[in-house]
Homo-oligomer: A and B are copies of this chain.
């Protein structure tokens, strides 16, 4: 008996649920959970099923592909720990939350390494017997530094996700392309939004009553990739901008961990610069 997560992403047409469920039925598979969504505007069909039964993953995938329109996306995934790399800079909150969850066995993940452009986090990471790799950007231009990071990443096979846990450097399109839909970032979010340096100071000056955080996949437009999760907290006039920043950290870590968990459980579809999450 094996358990599989079946992910389907197709152009919508009549009968898709029927055809896929026929494959499950004819192969005597149990449906443990099932979610579908049709985006009428983009004419796209999404389905995530968790099934168990006696069948080979490749075989199941082929059966499903055979009943779907050409060019449909089909994934048949055995639930297993995914390989993740964490990239961070100096801040401890988002990284620390992931390390503790990992230690507690909450995450379906192997943390292959933590990479930083500073040494500061080495002590924390070292406590958890996880490789810490510092790649300083000092004396290097953006491309040179990124080259170093990319070379380092090549040492790791089968990276499923790279989590940017407050990695404070902008990635170039080349980097983003190599790890398309594998880069999960967290950034603060405000109503209204603030662009440029020290957004918490700007938010403070603006007198916002809410601060938030957004976890998203990274595309070539900074902070504009497909959104995975968002959360906010209330603040008031008595918050200095440093208080806001401190409170913002609590939201950031919660939202990043939530997004990571969704990714590790194969619950996210990405398309049209947005996400469907089951």
Chain A contacts to B: CB under 8 angstroms: 14-15, 17-18, 21-22, 24-25, 28-40, 91-93, 96-97, 99-101, 103-104, 106, 124, 127-128, 189-193, 205-210, 212, 214, 223-224, 226-232, 234, 236-238, 240, 246, 250, 254, 272-277
* Interface SS of chain A: mixed
Residues of B close to A246: CB separation below 8 A = 106
A92 x B100 contact (CB < 8 A):
yes
Number of copies of this chain that the complex holds: 4
Instruction: Point out the residue from B15, B39, B93 that lies within 8 Å of A104, measured CB to CB.
Output: B93
In the assembled complex, the Cα of A73 lies from the Cα of B97 at a distance in Å of 39
Q: How far is the CA of A65 from the CA of B145 in the complex (A)?
A: 62
Supplied contacts A191-B193, A212-B232, A237-B274, 9 more A-B pairs, CB within 8 Å: A14-B28, A17-B31, A33-B37, A33-B238, A37-B237, A106-B246, A210-B231, A232-B232, A236-B277
Bound complex: CA of A18 vs CA of B250, how far in Å? Answer: 37
- Name the distance in Å between A230's Cβ and chain B's nearest Cβ: 4
CB within 8 Å for A226 and B209 given contacts A96-B103, A127-B127: no
Give the one of A38, A207, A238 with max B CB within 10 A: A207
Nearest neighbor of A34 in chain B, beta-carbon distance: B36
What separation, in Å, do the CA atoms of A209 and B226 have in the docked complex? Answer: 10
Closest chain-B Cβ to A266's Cβ sits at a distance in Å of: 16
Contact A14 B18 (CB under 8 A): no
- Chain B residues near A24: list those with CB within 8 A: 17-18
Pair A276/B237 contact, Cβ less than 8 Å: yes
A139 to chain B, nearest CB (A): 28
Contacts A190-B191, A207-B275, A208-B230 given; does A31 touch B37 at CB 8 Å: no
Instruction: Select A210's contact among B25, B30, B232, B274, beta carbons within 8 Å.
Output: B232
Which residues on the B side are within 8 Å of A28 (C-beta)? 14
A227 in complex: contacting residue of B106, B206, B214, CB < 8 Å = B206
Q: Which residues of B contact A190 (CB under 8 A)?
A: 191
Contact B92 A104 (CB under 8 A): yes
Closest 9 CB pairs of A and B: A207-B274, A96-B100, A127-B127, A18-B21, A18-B25, A92-B104, A189-B191, A209-B230, A210-B230
Chain B residue with Cβ nearest A100: B96
Tell whether, in the assembled complex, residue B14 and residue A17 are in contact, meaning their CB atoms are under 8 Å apart: no
B209 and A229 contacting across the interface, CB-CB below 8 Å: yes
